[in-house]
Amino acid sequence: MYTKKVMDHFANPRNMGEIEKPSGVGTVGNAKCGDIMRMYLDIDENGIIQDVKFKTFGCGAAVATSSIATELVKGKTVEEALKVTNKSVVEALDGLPPVKMHCSLLAEEAIHAALWDYAERNGIKIEGLKKPKGDVHEEEEEIVY
Amino acid sequence: MEKKIYLDNAATTKTKPEVVEAMLPYFSELYGNPSSVYEFASQNKKALDESRRTIANAIGAESTEIYFTGGGTEADNWALIATAEAYENKGKHIITSKIEHHAVLHTCEYLQKRGYEVTYVDVDENGVVKLDQLEKAIRPTTVLISIMFANNEIGTIQPIKEIGAIAKKHKVLFHTDAVQAFGQLNIDVDDLGIDMLSASAHKLNGPKGIGFLYIRQGIKIRSLIHGGAQERGRRAGTENVPYAVGFGKAVELAMNSMEERIKKETELRDYLIKRVLSEIPYTRLNGHRTKRLPNNANFSFQFIEGESLLIMLDMNNICASSGSACTSGSLDPSHVLLSIGLPHEIAHGSLRLTLSEENTIEEIDYTIDKIKETVEKLRNMSPLYEDFVRRRY
């Protein structure tokens, strides 16, 4: 069902954990739907993401997308991190099963939520960043069987 | 462990070698059509009859009341749709429960779209159907009550005899989906007041793709599959002789070993439940503590999600299943777990382990150790657990 990359990131998640005094934290998703992602960012004064950690409640794909997302933003500038989309997350994992695509949206959303928190804490405005929704499922269409 | 540990016997079971052996001649030498007149084919007719008799004896029925089907799902579809149609002059109301298998629930939805009314009775926190609610739901137009014998997810055994008595009192037909119970529990259709019963071979070490519907003598029911006069004109299509033979053999073996098997599996199940509940915090057992299938254990581990748990167990060669949304292909977790009152996030973290007589205590110990390890690992990864710990300390 899952690609080798997904299985690898699920079995050996990168950057899993917490950051004690983060520059920004974002939590997205909801327990009702079965996945919650939390992203911690440590951003230096030059706007470079020095460290990133995640915690995720969810399926294998949710864990893997969180893990790869941390790799994609680590060491990047805030502007570069904003360019990490759900599509780039899926590509980096060599694909996701269709029913798991929402997990990649969640990863993108988690990065944005953490960046939004960082911007709010510092009273700055990040160009192109919109206020994240609490629940990415709101926009999804109901699947009819 | 190098060896695979199979703990998903409610999904399907291993076809026993004796069953395969009994089936083989009916693929090769004895390939005749039971409907043919010549001597060569009569052996097939005989084999079919014998299998039917074995199955009938197993539930205290007559051979003429057993109709082979393409599986448990077909039997459920047939029982519901054809009864509804046959008795529509009396009324168009059916009663079932909220925790039925989809073979029953989706068939009820199909009937609702065609003008039938269906009442879905609630279950209590253990998954037992609320009998007072069931009896109150009966109307003059009620033609059928369909309640499963035992639940496939949480293993709860329903008060079938009481339901049979209620149905009889109100002159309503009673169908039970016994797919999980047949071969695992003693069933006597007369004693329990069952009018129709569905079962499947592959849940009791028989082949996949064959089941039966028991229809009590005297019940009107239409055909679901139209064509030839097979199965006393009620279920058309050339009989699947090798599978019917395999089914008969599986039932024979299951009935002979039942007492011993129930004892062994119950002991193993209770050991498993006891260890898991005492060694893993924030864990609950789903389903009734004692009125449950001998081989079923179903847990919810708070703060984690079921599919992740399954994949990690699979990495350790353990086959199990879960009621999480991610394993059901929808966004909602199991309707059974929600019906017993579990919140979504706890329903997502469920694990079902269903044993067979072949499982050993060593396998169970190894599995529990792996579950402990995995639950801990996933909790460390879980933001829900992080929040919980923060609130607590």
pLDDT band at residue A139 under the 50/70/90 scheme: very low
Determine the CATH number of domain B17-253: 3.40.640.10
Task: Tell me the whole-structure pTM to 2 decimals.
Answer: 0.93
On whether the CB atoms of residues A105 and A136 are closer than 8 A, the answer is yes
β-bridge mates for residue B297, sequence order: B353
Q: Write down the catalytic residue from A33, A48, A101, A126.
A: A33
| pLDDT at A141 (0 to 100) | 37
**∠ CA B381-B385-B386, rounded to 5°:** 80
- What is the three-class DSSP state of A76? coil
Burial class of residue B237 (count of CB atoms within 10 Å of its CB; 0-12, 13-18, 19+): middle
Closest residue by Cα to residue B301 from B315, B312, B317: B312
Per-residue DSSP letter, B324: S
Radius of gyration of chain A (CA): 14
How far is the C-alpha of B75 from the C-alpha of B58, rounded, in Å? 18
Closest CA to B139 of B111, B172, B168: B172
All structural domains of chain A with their residue ranges: 4-127
Whole-number Å distance between alpha carbons of B105 and B96: 8
Q: What is the ipTM of this complex?
A: 0.89
Regions of chain B short of the pLDDT cut 70: 1, 325-331
Helix (H), strand (E) at residue A25? strand A24-30
What's the one-letter identity of residue B195? D
- Provide the β-strand partners of residue B144: B94, B173
Residue A68: pLDDT band (50, 70, 90) is very high
Marked catalytic residue, from A103, A105, A106, A114: A103
In the prediction, which pLDDT does A131 show? 83
Q: So what's the pLDDT on residue B333?
A: 87
Instruction: Provide mean pLDDT across the span A122-143.
Output: 67
CB atoms A58 and B330 under 8 Å? no
Span B244-298, pLDDT tens digits: 999 999 999 999 999 999 999 999 999 999 999 999 999 999 999 999 999 999 9
Tell me the shortest Cα–Cα distance from A8 to chain B, in angstroms.
11
* Candidate CATH numbers 3.90.1010.10, 3.30.470.10, 3.30.70.260, 3.30.565.10; the one for domain A4-127: 3.90.1010.10
What are the chain B neighbours of A59 within 8 Å (beta carbons)? Answer: 305, 307-308, 324, 326
Q: For B5-12+258-392, CATH number?
A: 3.90.1150.10
**Cross-chain residue pair A33–B384, CB shorter than 8 Å:** no
Rounded distance between C-alpha atoms, residue B153 and residue B339, angstroms: 12
Three-class SS state of B384:
helix
Non-local (6+) Cβ contacts of B113 within 8 A are none
Q: Beta strand pairing status for B318-319 and B5-6? A: parallel
Do A64 and B311 touch, CB atoms closer than 8 A?
no
Q: Are A132 and A42 in contact (CB under 8 A)?
A: no
Ordered DSSP codes for B234-276: TS-S---HHHHHHHHHHHHHHHHHHHHHHHHHHHHHHHHHHHH
Classified as helix, coil or strand, B100 is coil
Nearest-neighbour CA in chain B from A47: distance (Å): 26
pLDDT tens for B57-116 read 999 999 999 999 999 999 999 999 999 999 999 999 999 999 999 999 999 999 999 999
Where exactly are the structural domains of chain B?
A: 5-12+258-392, 17-253
Q: Which of B324, B330, B384 is closest, CB to CB, to A36?
A: B384
Burial track A103-116 (b if 16+ CB lie within 10 A, e otherwise):
bbbbbbbbbbbbbb
Active site residue A33: yes
User: Cβ separation of B326 and A36 shorter than 8 Å?
Assistant: no
Of B329, B344, B348, the CB nearest to A99: B329
